[in-house]
Every structure is written in structure tokens, then in C-alpha cells.
Structure 1
């Protein structure tokens, strides 16, 4: 897996060195020699990762990072600060500016490749979800993401078999406003499956279990796969931490743990986890809205067309019956004209409830438009379908419909037409046409009745 990486450094030798290292791993490298040029290239070329030098004349790396994160078109691009500075306050300042990580010159090849691999894994998921989200926004199925959703205090689970050190770390996190739970407090890791956890902090010093196997388990489990994992490691033994990053960990922090650096890394990883979770939920919700009628909560015509086609194919293969009921609210225009569209909406919602209450779980209830509804009835011969339609008709007519907050009650009836599959030569259009004709006969025959056309 390769990436398009923007290298930003005011010294050409440094740029060329990083370019050689990255191209040796088959990445595509873009380059910029100062802050303004970096912003311009990032907007124009849309790189997947940015390696950003801190010490540059004019606009330094901190300011460049802040501007990148403030711009909606580049805010999602992971930034890794690359600098000769090694003081803790410099690292914290870079993370606070929005950077995902911090590399110190001379850059270690193994560490560089491990960081890029971790960021590419994140990008693969985030990019796909962003594309689906963009399609949903264009279609009107969802609104722009509210970035405030990702900035609440973190929910953290600490996995360490040392009760003293894990308790001390939990107290530090709680003092910073986070919700922290230790493995010793929970007793087991069941909380990871039942509670939404943003960040999992895993100690590589544990002796009662293999931390690397645990990372692999977390990343294989669908429940915990998206949780960001921060490793606690020994600064003199990074090989194990780097292996953890390769397996799937998101970040690492060395002992002794600096509180400011911990807070910055927790913030970064929490935002990443929540961003993915929110995008995934929004995409799922957008897909749901594309096949759901928002007023009644029933399926819409798009969903009905797909389901009807599948039901027809199954019925033909298994020589099974299939029926369809098309129903229409009697004199619905008069409801809107006399009582207003809000009352009309109340009637439509109540019709949806009564339809759902009087069909089987296997039946598919759809609102196909206006005051028209369709019920697909798999494995149902014509006589049973007519009986079901009659049951629905009676359920609608039996009780008045409360509208306008219960201030008025209306007497509502429906007419229905039923059609049944007649064989392999039948098409969806044939089935719908016969139901529509039967519905027309019910309307012209006096309304509040059920008619059927067998063929």
C-alpha cells in the first residue's frame, strides 16, 4: 500500500533525503520549500500525508499545521512534524497545533515507515467514508459534519497488569476530565464490548499477557477494530513498540509519561476514533434514509422496486405464490384542503402505523408516494392476500384518527387492490398494473373496499 506524501522543508538536502527514503518504499513524493508553498500544494494536490519541518523562515511548521487544520479542504490530511527539536514542549506544541505525530531528525527509517503505515490504514477507512458522506451531502440525505461532536472528553480503557501504575495513570486522566477505567477495576475486558471506548492505552511492560497478541486480537475484532490504541513503551527499547505499530496500534508514548504530551496524544487519537465512528454512523444513516420515507418511517418506492424484483425471482425459482396489495386513502385531498397539510401528515403517519400493525414480519410495507401505499406479501396466495387487505381496511376504518395534537379526530377509510403472481411470464410491471387496476375498481365501486384481479 503506497501513499502520496508531501514533504515540506526549507533545506533541499533534507527534502531529497526524505524523498529517497519514501520513494524506496514506492510512495509518490510531492515537495514544498516553505509554508505558503506547502499550503498551496496541499490544496491543489490533496496529498494523503504531510511530513512538515518545524523550523522554517517566515511561516514555521506550527503555523502551517494550524492553517492546514483550519481549512476544511485540508483539515483531514494527517500531518507529521519533522524537526531537529527534541524538547518535550516542542512535541506538545506540535501535537496541540493538530499534528498527528512528531519525528526527530535524523529520521529513523523503521520509525518513519511504521508511522506512515499506521496513517495509511487510517486514511484508507476515512477516505472511503468521506466519499460516501460527500455523496450523501450532495443528494441531501445528510448535512455537513458538526466538528464539535468529536471534542467531548475521552473514554479511555487502560490495559496493564500493574495495578499501581495503571491506577496512577487513570487518576491523571480523570484529573484532565476524561473517563478512565483500568483493567484491574473492570476485572476483564468486557467493557470494551459493552461501552463505547475512544482510546485504549496498552502497556508493553505487561507480563501476564502478550501485548502484541492483544493488539492483533483488537484489530481482528469488529467491536474493537476502530478503537485507537496508544502503547506505553520503554524509550530504550522501541523495537517492540514499532512492531505494535505495524500490527495495528495508532500511537506510542514513552516513560516517564509527560502529562501534557499524554493529553495531546489522547486528544488526537480520540478525535480520530470519533471521526471514523461518526462518519460510519452518518453513512449508514444516509443509506437508510435513501430507502426510507421520512414522514412515515416506511420503506420508499426505491426499496420496494428492489424487493419486488427479488421476490419475483425467488417465487419463480421455487414455484411459490406472491401477492401485492396497493392501497390509497379515500378523499385524502379533502383532508388537506379542510384541515391543512399538518393534519394530512398526521393521517399518513397513522396509516403507516396501522399498516405495520396488521401485516406479518415477512411482509414489506412501503409508501410509494402521496397517499398511496404498497404491501408486498411473499409466499401468499391471492385469497390470503385479500383477507389480509380486508383486515387492514377494517383496522383503518375501525377507529378515528387523532390529528393536530389530538385536537380533532377524523374518520378515514382506504381502498385496496390486490394482484397475485400468475407465473414465470409475469413481470413486476404486470403485477403492479393489475393491482392498480383493482384499486381503481375499488375506488369507482364506492371506496372503502378491496378488489382483486387474478389475471
Structure 2
């Protein structure tokens, strides 16, 4: 799918020029002649990046950018200001309004296309994370957009890689006003330093004396620990070719020497804000995954996870010629606990029951809440005899000590019934193993409960 670019300018000739340049590179181009139109198009999620003029009659580009970045629904859309204004103060003002970049007219086609491609790649990656995190909202995980809007981008951890004292001393002095800064003068050590610490931003000089700064940037992108850390490159004024190459390999932003201190701070804040936002998205995705496979009350894996993972464990046991045992457990008379002491007490029992299960099994064993008061424990490399010993130990640990409920105000006796089965032959369906454990559990309950029964020989 081609990236969708919104060009916002009140001068038709400028719009036509940008539209022709971008269309030639196979971007889908939309246009708006004023700020209100631009905001409306972005609100409908119709674009992947905005190229925004500043000098417009109804609402200038600074205000349009501020509104886009202040709205959680449009905050994540990259904005590039393309304008005839060229003073450092204008660039800083645009960056402080939330712009992701500030390009001064006339902009070369190569620079424009490289920047648009770089930012749209980042946008599409963010969109994928946002899409994966949609279920986070449904299960109560906080969406990060509102925090991102309020984030100042300050208080970050920055690694500055520069081997010229006159340069890194000045840059570190400026950055230290808002961030914690570590300086690495040995480029060959920089990657190890970056991987061992949790940095919010890498700032890399491309003018290193005996080392290719772009190679360092490329290595940072290929290493798992630093793959998502934004990179801000510092380059000399005549380094356009190298900067364009840098954008292709994953450099997020750049500054040309002599470096304006306010622009350095503004671009650093932008990158740190984005890093925090994408980190929040990744955390939400991870939380969603964990919640999808974990029982919220007990913290054990849920039935969905058990049924899928049990197939893998059974296949591994068959391939290795190792035994696999399965234990199905049921809390005796659990309904009477809920009826007599309340559902809160029942929840207390389930939580404590999960704790005692964890204490009674090995790290390689898989414990799951199968549903209600039923639990399943899968034990790799375990025969029926050993599984019976583990089950009996667990039964005694449950029956031997009363369960505290109502925050310790009451203590009640609890017992369990357990059914055991084993994987009998290579390629046997796991449903058959579960069925035999369920039959053994039924026998345990029928024979008086508070006992362990193994499958029939």
C-alpha cells in the first residue's frame, strides 16, 4: 500500500509542484488549501504524513501542527513543515509546535523524498503497533496517546557518540540542561555501551575520525537491544549524500553543523517523545498478549494457552520418546464455599490454591486454570508413578492447612480431587489424554473426594 501524503498550502502552484514530485515516486497525494481542511482530513485518518506550509491566511502552520499534536487521535501523524522561513528561530518554533521536521524552500527532490519515505516508514510501523494494541482498550489497558500529548520529551537518557572534545563538550553541556547525557568517545565501544543501558536517544557524529558513523548507526539498527532507539545524526553542512544514506538505513533525524542549541534540544525532545510513545504501544501489545493467555484471577495460564501448548509438549514428548503426564484437579464442594462464605471468599481460595500449585510443581511443568474450580497440570518427562507422588504431595498441601479468606478474618478447610493420565503412544491426540484424566477425576470424586486416582491401566 502506497503512503498517503497530505500537502497543505494556500498557493496552488506550490501544491501542484509538490504533488507532481510525490506522485512521480508513487505516493498517493491529497491536498488542502487551509488549516481547517487539513485538520478535518487528518481527523478522518486519511493520511500518513502531512507536508505543511506555515504562511496561510486563516490559520498558520504552527497552529495547525499544535492542534494535530494536541489531539490524541492525530498525535501520531508525522508533520513536516515546508516553508520559505529559514531562520533557526523559525525551525525551533516549528519543532516546538510538534513538527517532526522542518524543511526550507527550495527543497531538493532527493531530500524531500528521502524524508517523506523515512517518516512514512516510521508511521506505518507505529500504525501496526497501534493496531495490535487495539484490544488493550477492550481489556482495560491504558492507551498511551494522552500521555504522549502531555509528554514534554524532557528527562531522557542520551548517549552522545563523538570523538572531538570541542564538539561533544558543547553538545553535552546543552543537552544536560534537560537530560542525562553519557559521552562515548570510542566509537568501537559505543554499541556495547548502548546495548547495556536503556537509552532514549543516540546522538552520533558522522564526522568521527577513524570510524564510519553510518556503520555505527546501521549496527545499532541490526542489534535487538538498540533496534528501536531513535538516532539523531550530527553532520557537516556538505554531507547531504551521507545523510540521505543515513535516513535509508534507519537514522531518525539529523542536524547540520554549526548546531543551534535550541534546535538540538527541540529535535531531541521530539525523538524522545516518540520513543516513549512507541514503547508504551509495545508494552500494551505485550500486556494484551499476556492477558490473552493468562487467567486474571489466579495468574496461571488459561485454557486457551493450555490447549495450544499441550499439543507442542505432546509432540516433543513423542519425538524424544519421553513420558508426559497430565493432572486434572478439582476443588471439592467449591459451590458450597461460594454459597456459604460469598464469592469473594471463593476468589481468595482460588488465588491461594494457585500459589500452592506453583510451590508443588517444577519450573518445566505447565499449570493452567481449566475453568471455574478445575485446573490442569502438564508434566513433561514424568511417568505415571512420579506424577502420582507429585499429585499426592499437592493434595496433602491443600488439605493440611486451612485457607484464609476475607483478608484473614476466617479460615476454611479445603480439599481437592485429582485425576491422572499419561500420553500412551506416539501421535496420540491430546484430547484423548485429557479425556482419560477427566474420567480419573470423576472416579476420584465418585469414590469420596480428597484423593488421587490414576487412569485405568
Q: Structure 1 length normalisation: TM-score? A: 0.93
Is 1:411 aligned with 2:413? Answer: yes
Q: Deviations over 1:385-443 (max 9, x none)?
A: 22221121122223333334444433322111112233358533332232222212212
> Structure 1 stretches of 5 or more lacking a match?
none
- Matches of 2:273 and 2:20, distance apart in 1: 32
Is 1:401 aligned with 2:403? Answer: yes
Q: Secondary structure at the match of 1:290?
A: helix
- Matches of 1:439 and 1:45, distance apart in 2: 55
What's the counterpart of residue 365 of structure 2? 363
Q: Secondary structure at the match of 1:41?
A: helix
- Matches of 2:344 and 2:110, distance apart in 1: 64
- Matches of 1:360 and 1:121, distance apart in 2: 45
Q: Secondary structure at the match of 1:246?
A: helix
What's the counterpart of residue 76 of structure 2? 76
- Matches of 1:160 and 1:424, distance apart in 2: 61
Q: Runs of at least 4 residues of structure 1 off by over 6 A?
A: none
Higher mean alpha-carbon deviation, 380-389 vs 147-156, is at 147-156
Quote how far apart the aligned CAs of 1:6 are.
Answer: 0.8
What's the counterpart of residue 382 of structure 2? 380
Quote how far apart the aligned CAs of 1:449 are.
Answer: 0.4
What's the counterpart of residue 99 of structure 1? 99
What's the counterpart of residue 266 of structure 1? 268
- Matches of 1:409 and 1:74, distance apart in 2: 54
Is 1:41 aligned with 2:31? Answer: no
Q: Is the 8 A contact 1:382 1:454 kept in 2?
A: no
**CA spacing shift, 1:64–1:315, aligned 2, 3 Å:** same
**Count of residues in correspondence between the two structures:** 453
What's the counterpart of residue 299 of structure 1? 301
Higher mean alpha-carbon deviation, 92-101 vs 184-193, is at 184-193
Quote how far apart the aligned CAs of 1:146 are.
Answer: 5.7
- Matches of 1:334 and 1:184, distance apart in 2: 70
Alignment of 1:22-171 (within 5 A): 22-44=22-44, 46-138=46-138, 140=139, 142-145=141-144, 147-148=146-147, 150-151=151-152, 152-171=154-173
- Matches of 2:427 and 2:215, distance apart in 1: 58
What's the counterpart of residue 210 of structure 1? 212
Q: Deviations over 1:58-116 (max 9, x none)?
A: 11111111222223322211000011111112111111111100111111112112211
**CA spacing shift, 1:438–1:96, aligned 2, 3 Å:** same
- Matches of 1:422 and 1:197, distance apart in 2: 52
Q: Secondary structure at the match of 1:153?
A: coil
Q: Is the 8 A contact 1:415 1:449 kept in 2?
A: yes
- Matches of 2:435 and 2:361, distance apart in 1: 22
Q: Is the 8 A contact 1:328 1:414 kept in 2?
A: yes
Is 1:179 aligned with 2:180? Answer: yes
- Matches of 1:110 and 1:324, distance apart in 2: 63
Q: Deviations over 1:23-51 (max 9, x none)?
A: 12111111111111112222335211111
Higher mean alpha-carbon deviation, 238-247 vs 24-33, is at 238-247
Q: Is the 8 A contact 2:144 2:277 kept in 1?
A: no
**CA spacing shift, 1:425–1:173, aligned 2, 3 Å:** closer
Q: Secondary structure at the match of 2:176?
A: helix
Q: Secondary structure at the match of 1:298?
A: coil
What's the counterpart of residue 243 of structure 2? 241
**CA spacing shift, 1:375–1:192, aligned 2, 3 Å:** same
> Structure 2 stretches of 5 or more lacking a match?
none
Q: Deviations over 1:245-296 (max 9, x none)?
A: 2222111112222222112111110011111222112111210110011222
Higher mean alpha-carbon deviation, 228-237 vs 180-189, is at 180-189
Is 1:342 aligned with 2:344? Answer: yes
What's the counterpart of residue 280 of structure 1? 282
**CA spacing shift, 1:162–1:290, aligned 2, 3 Å:** same
Quote how far apart the aligned CAs of 1:307 are.
Answer: 1.4
